[in-house]
Amino acid sequence: MTPSTQPNQPAPAGLRVAIVTGGSRGIGRAVSQQLARDGLAVVVNYARDAASAEDTVAAITGAGGRAVAVQADVADEKEVAALFDRAEAEYGGVDVVVNAAGRMTLSTVADLDLAALDAMHRTNIRGTFVVAQQAARRLRAGGSLVTFSTSVVGTQFPEYGAYVASKAAVEGMTLILARELRGRDVTVNTVAPGPTATDLFLDGKTPEQIDRLSKIPPLERLGRPEDIAEVVAFLSGPAGHWVNGQVLRANGGLV
């Protein structure tokens, strides 16, 4: 695991601290920046793209926030434990964990390369579980875990079978973990975005496909990463702390 080159920053008493996996790009970056604007110190996790992670950190610190970039594979329990160790060493503890890291491969069930299936499920299922396990052990009272699913669990579009299977597993874990954390004052929720204008969503789609998908929600547009980040900020903040064990479909009315 490679730590950020950013210098340590003094952590004032009462500082709330967030770990955002997949926090350097797309929805994860928007979440990192939103939580920083809300006053949290943010540990921006990334898998491979160190440059994007450092750019996200620079954007946060340039606006007066606190952030550090830390590399870790979310499916590797030792690296994830070290990620949490770094957050605790840097800022004193962990209050919010947002698992935005994810992988998507589209194919019919008949044609899917099983190597792609294994890679996707390693990140989306095992990775979510590993991050949730550390969050369950380490989140401070008043804390929150937010994981990610997809609204396609409900829309059931063709070619999303393997991806939906991985995200349905995340949804199935949500209420169970919330109940397992009884008495800890820690919430567990899942956000299931609809079509959102990120590289992950746009990759491989034609302009015609994108236009068609953007017209499906009653609001007749794609979601923006910022739309999802604001939902995450609500669920992980004091105003949303009564929401627990839920799957929130943030999709403009898609389903």
Instruction: Look at residue 174 in the predicted model and tell me its pLDDT.
Output: 98
Cα 212 → chain centroid? 26
The parts of the chain modelled with pLDDT lower than 70 are 1-10
Instruction: Look at residue 8 in the predicted model and tell me its pLDDT.
Output: 52
Instruction: Look at residue 201 in the predicted model and tell me its pLDDT.
Output: 81
Instruction: Look at residue 5 in the predicted model and tell me its pLDDT.
Output: 44
Instruction: Look at residue 234 in the predicted model and tell me its pLDDT.
Output: 98
Specify the amino acid at residue 67. A
Distance CA 189, CA 232 (A): 9
Annotation says 91 is catalytic:
no
Residue 72 in tokens: 């870790």
Distance CA 71, CA 60 (A): 17
Q: What is the CATH number of domain 17-250?
A: 3.40.50.720
Instruction: Look at residue 7 in the predicted model and tell me its pLDDT.
Output: 46
**Closest by CA position to 54, among listed 32, 38, 39, 82:** 32
**Catalytic one among 46, 91, 160, 163?**
163
Tokens 């004091």, located at residue: 238
Domain boundaries, the chain: 17-250
Residue 206 in tokens: 């034609």
What's the mean pLDDT when you consider all of the chain?
A: 94
**Is the model's pTM score more than 0.85?**
yes
For the stretch 3-16, pLDDT in tens is 454 445 567 878 99
For the stretch 221-235, pLDDT in tens is 999 999 999 999 999
